[in-house]
Structure 1
Amino acid sequence: MRSMASSPSSKGIAAIVGVGPRLGLSIARKFAREGYTLAILSSDLGRLSRFADEIARDEKARVFAIRIDCSDTKSIREAFEGVLSLGFVEVLVYNAYHPMSWPPTNFADMRVQYFEKSIAVSSVGAFHCAQQVLPGMVDRGRGTILFTGCFASLNGIAGYSELCCGKFALRALSQCLAREFQAQGVHVAHVIIDGYIGVPRNVINFTTKIKGGWGTTRAAAAAAAADWYRRRGRDYGPRRAGSNLLAIAHSRPIRLDPRDRPPSLKL
């Protein structure tokens, strides 16, 4: 675990699992800007340390970089021993994913090891991370868990059975946890980012054809705003009557507008 720390935070720990250069980094910056101490986790500790340097410098936040392999139970347990040593985890954001193949893989040619690894990262890793933080949240009667979904959370896509199966399972896990822990004060939301983020221009037409994706890095900041709004109880999608769980069972993808954002969000 590597620390990039400044002055102590008055809020709890925000653990962001799956911090890459787009969505994960934008979410981490948003929570740092709102006064949380950050634990940012990914498999690439070198790149993660650079992100920690940037966030600590730009947002004047306490940031801890921790390596994690979301397909390995032992790695998750060891990583969260470090996270929990920092204090109470107020927010867990699970944004990990297994890189998709391009072009799509013919099902007959897909290796079972690749299929299993993708599901392990998308859903089994989320299961283990949630188990690490839920006991503390239940004990204190508060906490938030946010899972990142995508267009594959709702629709099967030819050539991407490994992605879709993992994301379908993640959405189901989100629903189960939401209904089980709502009464105990734990807020669980599944946030569907309906499109690619910051893809190269030569594949923008492909993303637009699939689900009307933006294909622009502005989406990362807007998606971070969506996560923040869900943390505060606001929703862009359908809401179940009488529930404060943001209607986890989304009946349609969430469309994000970059103009609809907190005043402090930098696009």
Structure 2
Amino acid sequence: MPKVIAVLGVGPGLGLSIARRFDREGFTTALVSRTETRHASYRESLSGTTHTYAADVTDPAQVEAVLARITAEAGELDTVYFGPADIAGPRPVPLPSAGADAVRAAFDAIVSPAARLVEAVLPGMLERGSGSLLFAGGLSGKYPMPMLGSLAPASAALRMYVLTLNAALRETGVYAGALTIGGLIERGDIHRELTKQDHGFAMGTLDPDDIAEKAWSLYVERDVAEAEFTAMAAV
């Protein structure tokens, strides 16, 4: 039976590139995004067996339900990719003016869904003694980037969550890895939106296919917990 990867938070940028990279290795792909609007085009771009689902990855009940559907229709999950970046998600608020609610909103959109996802899928992986968990996060979780304001603490928490999870899972057969990204991902929704107008800061672009290739290397080699990508002039 083919292995199964679930791509949660799939979009036309990195999520789809991740799906294509694992599809080339014979994986069955299960793609999850907020709406079904672009699912037909996603399926057309993949050569193997693909399932598509509409669910909000920040809603615990919807995530639980969609994971159950994926398992029933595609099979046990070998790999889960979680990409929380969403143009509809919380916008950065400068930290000097951000209150607790703004900071908490980023945690609710980024960190809590990641932890709930792990809570749902990790027990089965541990029981089998195999599996992989891949998470995309922001470089503001590693270096101070004031323009990302209230999003930075959540990025830092997600990064450390994944790195600590990686260390805790050694010798279990289950791998956790972080893709730490600084820059706009080409073809993605956020890239398209931010390049429409001047937001007062410049960010370079990154090719999602390059990031997906590294994600595959993390999956295969499992010797490091993190891969960093930056198109920033200085951090």
The answer to whether the Cα contact below 8 Å between 1:178 and 1:245 also exists between their aligned partners in 2 is: no
- Number of equivalences: 222
Aligned-partner residue type, residue 42 of structure 2:
A
Taking the aligned partners of 1:207 and 1:54, their CA distance within structure 2 comes to 34
The answer to whether the Cα contact below 8 Å between 2:10 and 2:31 also exists between their aligned partners in 1 is: yes
Tell me the alpha carbon deviations over residues 115-143 of structure 1, each in whole angstroms, 9 at most, x when there is no partner.
43322221111111112211111111111
Q: Counterparts in 2 of 1:51-70, with a 5 A limit?
A: 51-55=41-45, 59-70=46-57
TM-score (norm 2): 0.82
- Residue identity over aligned pairs, in percent, reads 23
Per the alignment, do residues 156 and 40 of structure 1 end up closer, same or farther by CA in structure 2, a change over 3 Å counting? same
Taking the aligned partners of 2:225 and 2:126, their CA distance within structure 1 comes to 21
Q: Does 1:116 align with 2:104?
A: yes
Aligned-partner residue type, residue 120 of structure 1:
D
More strand by proportion, 1 or 2?
2
Aligned-partner residue type, residue 209 of structure 2:
A
Q: Of the candidates 14, 19, 22, which is equivalent to residue 23 of structure 1?
A: 14
The answer to whether the Cα contact below 8 Å between 2:95 and 2:150 also exists between their aligned partners in 1 is: no
- What are the ranges of 5 or more consecutive residues in structure 1 without an aligned counterpart? 1-9, 234-243, 257-267
Taking the aligned partners of 1:205 and 1:160, their CA distance within structure 2 comes to 12
The answer to whether the Cα contact below 8 Å between 2:98 and 2:150 also exists between their aligned partners in 1 is: no
Tell me the alpha carbon deviations over residues 187-233 of structure 1, each in whole angstroms, 9 at most, x when there is no partner.
1111112321123386699444xxxx3x25xx111011111111111
- What are the ranges of 5 or more consecutive residues in structure 2 without an aligned counterpart? none
- The equivalent of 1:84 in structure 2 is 71
CA RMSD between the two structures: 2.6
Structure with the bigger RCO (C-alpha within 8 Å, sep 6+) is 2
- The equivalent of 2:4 in structure 1 is 13
Per the alignment, do residues 175 and 108 of structure 1 end up closer, same or farther by CA in structure 2, a change over 3 Å counting? closer
Taking the aligned partners of 2:6 and 2:209, their CA distance within structure 1 comes to 18
Tell me the alpha carbon deviations over residues 210-266 of structure 1, each in whole angstroms, 9 at most, x when there is no partner.
xxx3x25xx111011111111111xxxxxxxxxx54044x7xx4469xxxxxxxxxx
Per the alignment, do residues 106 and 164 of structure 1 end up closer, same or farther by CA in structure 2, a change over 3 Å counting? closer
Per the alignment, do residues 69 and 201 of structure 1 end up closer, same or farther by CA in structure 2, a change over 3 Å counting? closer
TM-score (norm 1): 0.73
